[in-house]
Amino acid sequence: MARINLLDPLLSSRIAAGEVIERPLSVLRELLDNALDAGADEIRVTLEGGGIDYLSVADNGSGIRRDDLKLLGTRHATSKIHDPDDLYTINTLGFRGEALYSISAVSRMTIATRSADTGEASTLVIDNARREDVLEIGPDKGTIVTVEDLFKDIPARRSFLKRNSTEAQMCRSLLTSKALAFPNVRFILTVDGALRIDWPKVDSLKERVLYLFRMDGISDADVNYLSESNEDYTVEIVAGNSSVKRSDRREIRIYVNNRPVEEYSLVQAVTYGYGELLPGGSFPYAAVFINDKPELVDFNIHPAKKEVKIRNKAEIHHSITTLLKNIERKIPEISVAKQFYLDDAERWENGKKTTSFVPAAEEKTPFHAYPKSEAKESSVSEIIRTYKEKDKAWLEKAKALQENQKKIKESQPIKADAKVCEIIDDDNQFKYIGQAFNLFLIAEKNNELYLIDQHAAHERIIYDELLEQKSVQNLLIPIKLEVDKLTDEFLSEYSYIYTKLGIMLSRVGDGNWEITALPAVARSIEGQIVEYIESAKADEHELEMNLFAIIACKAAIKAGDPVDKWSAEALIEKVFKLKEPCCPHGRTFLVKLKEKELRAMVGRTS
């Protein structure tokens, strides 16, 4: 066996650093925590070469005293905790005293700072654990930490890093994640000389989260703010409504005491809260901010502080689920971007159609974007000026054309079906237009056009009728079932659930059961019901939902089935009486198109 010896200090420091610093993202995470703990309200991050060659974090916080620089960068040196009890009441993002020590062991780190207490400016350089003398120079305010040549002296570690662009994107995602929890701080990110993020200080969590949601095209109207306060904790949620969804859980973000954490049970609470608001396989956009008493949480279980133990997790789980159940379903609307059209009097000259100037939708220049070039602005102005001077009488021509169209319309007789349109404004009235593609029923109501998925709509109607047990039929010949021991025990204890659903079950022997009654709409799908009963061992709510969905789906009108006028009208009438237009699987089956939007699509503005 080899002899035991003490490790070289540099080697031991690099081994320890490997637990905390894995890539540029790890460096940025620790430096951001320090900047936020210093009370900064503006943080500037600069990356070059994906943060591998150069990474800088500049803040306007309280700075560091010159005397403290003597300890800074040594192992377990921290200003955040002082005795063992502090570990259980942590109010800061950093607390272990490992970050700067670990970073300085695998890079060249420069710390330039000015203390707000003493006004002293100081600069310290630690190059791969080799400390240099403190210089009496520094910034005007706050602290600038620069990390260069990460893992340069450890080529094996550097070879595991990804491409510069990928590492930079990881850092950008981290900065975004951190910024969401601190709306009162301005965050700026520059990558290889290009400004990528500039999020100003805002007044609320909702405003800050909207900066992220807008990147995915989510409008402010589709986002809800929910909150609840308790004796030990508060919960604030910024979440999208039923029209906002994605195919993964990536945008379900959980924060505990301003830290982004990975806590599956709380992510699960979000999905439970949405319930049937989203269809199966879809997940919401939601940011959950939990502020819990420090003594009830423990972050000291993971080097990157990604995980947390929460003593009152059950109560918080319930609060999240209950809050999200208040989100209402939104009927999707078809909308178009507003465009500018010239009038017919302008677009047609001498019997030929002229080229109209149709400017693109107004570009909302982000506050962080660079100014447009003067050449581009002057060219647009030139086009507009040319258009205005082209025919100064165009407005008079347009008015004359509109007046002429009005006279023609007034001279036409009123059609017989015009009376139907007159009563459409009544909430109980609609006009059935027809069926499209043997799938969509089209109806007009209150100056809006509705497209209804006939299968999903009929599914929901049947589902509701089953819930009310409107029609249950006794079977002349009972359906026999033979089940295994576990299912036999389950049915013996929970057969009352099936009775509530209109399915009458009776036990006639060990493992032998009979179905003596079924809902009327289920008579054609007896086989599927039997198969489900033989295998299902869910809880009451899940059993009820799944069984109803099976019956409703099988019994409903199918996509591709032609529907006569009377059946369609009867179905649409029931649809308009529903509180929420969604099928039993949670999918919204109705969209609407406003008259003004339809007019805009074809350029008719009046």
pLDDT of residue 589: 82
Would you state the pLDDT for residue 356? 40
> Any idea which of 161-165, 278-282, 363-367, 467-471 has the lowest mean pLDDT?
363-367
| 602 against 112, higher pLDDT | 112
SS3 helix, strand, coil % of the chain, rounded to 5?
40, 25, 40
Report percent pLDDT > 70 for the chain.
Answer: 71
pLDDT tens digit sequence for 242-273:
888 888 889 999 999 988 988 888 999 999 88
Over residues 581-606, the mean pLDDT reads: 76
Give pLDDT, residue 92.
Answer: 63
Containing 165, the helix (H) or strand (E) segment is helix 164-180
CATH topology assigned to domain 202-324:
Ribosomal Protein S5; domain 2 (3.30.230)
Q: Cite the residue boundaries of each domain of the chain with CATH code 3.30.230.10.
A: 202-324
Model confidence at 304, pLDDT cuts 50, 70, 90, reads low
Dump strand ranges (E) for 117-175: 121-127, 130-131, 142-148
Q: Which residue has the higher pLDDT, 165 or 385?
A: 165
Q: Average pLDDT, stretch 444-472?
A: 79
Q: What is the pLDDT of residues 470-521, one digit of tens each?
A: 567 788 888 888 888 888 888 888 787 777 777 888 888 888 888 888 877 6
pLDDT at 551: 74
| Angle in degrees, 0-180, between the axes of helices 264-274 and 313-324, rounded to the nearest 10 | 30
Mean pLDDT of 516-544: 74
**Average pLDDT score over the chain:** 77
Residue 371 confidence (pLDDT) above 50: no
pLDDT at 564: 85
Mean predicted confidence (pLDDT) in 412-437:
55
CB 165 within 8 A of CB 50: yes
**Residue, of 119 and 337, whose pLDDT is higher:** 119
Of 2.30.31.20, 1.20.1050.10, 3.30.1540.20, 3.40.50.1220, the CATH number of 416-606 is: 3.30.1540.20
Short-list 319, 329, 332, 330, CA closest to 237: 319
Listed residue (458, 447, 444) closest to 559, CA to CA: 458
Look at the domain 9-198 and name its fold: Heat Shock Protein 90 (3.30.565)
> 91-95, 326-330, 432-436: lowest mean pLDDT where?
91-95
**Residue spans in the chain of domains classed CATH 3.30.565.10:** 9-198
Residue 403's alpha-carbon distances to 340, 343, 394, 408, 539, in angstroms, are: 21, 14, 14, 9, 68
Residue pair 104/153 in contact by the 8 Å Cβ criterion: no
- Predicted local distance difference test score (pLDDT) of residue 84: 54
pLDDT recorded at residue 248: 87
> What does the pLDDT read at residue 317?
92
* Mean pLDDT value across residues 182-198: 94
Least confident of 44-53, 424-433, 527-536, 559-568: 424-433
Tell whether the model's pLDDT for residue 397 goes beyond 70.
no
pLDDT of 447 higher than 50: yes
Q: What is the mean pLDDT of residues 516-533?
A: 77
540's CB contacts (< 8 A; 6+ apart) are: 494, 497
What's the pLDDT at 410? 53
Mean pLDDT value of segment 300-326: 82
| 3-state secondary structure (DSSP) of residue 420 | helix
Q: What is the DSSP letter of 289?
A: E
Q: What mean pLDDT is predicted for residues 187-214?
A: 93
Min mean pLDDT across 235-239, 461-465, 504-508, 572-576 is at 461-465
Determine the Cα–Cα distance for residues 339 and 361; give it in Å rounded to an integer: 7
Mean pLDDT to the nearest integer, 574-591: 78
pLDDT at 96: 56
Domain with CATH 3.30.1540.20 in the chain: 416-606
- In sequence order, which ranges of 517-586 are alpha helices (DSSP H)? 526-535, 540-555, 565-575
Say how far apart CA 457 and CA 591 lie, in whole Å: 12
254 near 263, Cβ under 8 Å? yes
Higher per-residue pLDDT: 216 or 551: 216
Instruction: Give residue-wise pLDDT tens across range 125-184.
Output: 999 888 998 999 999 999 999 999 999 888 888 888 899 999 999 999 999 999 999 999
Residue 372 pLDDT > 50, yes or no?
A: no
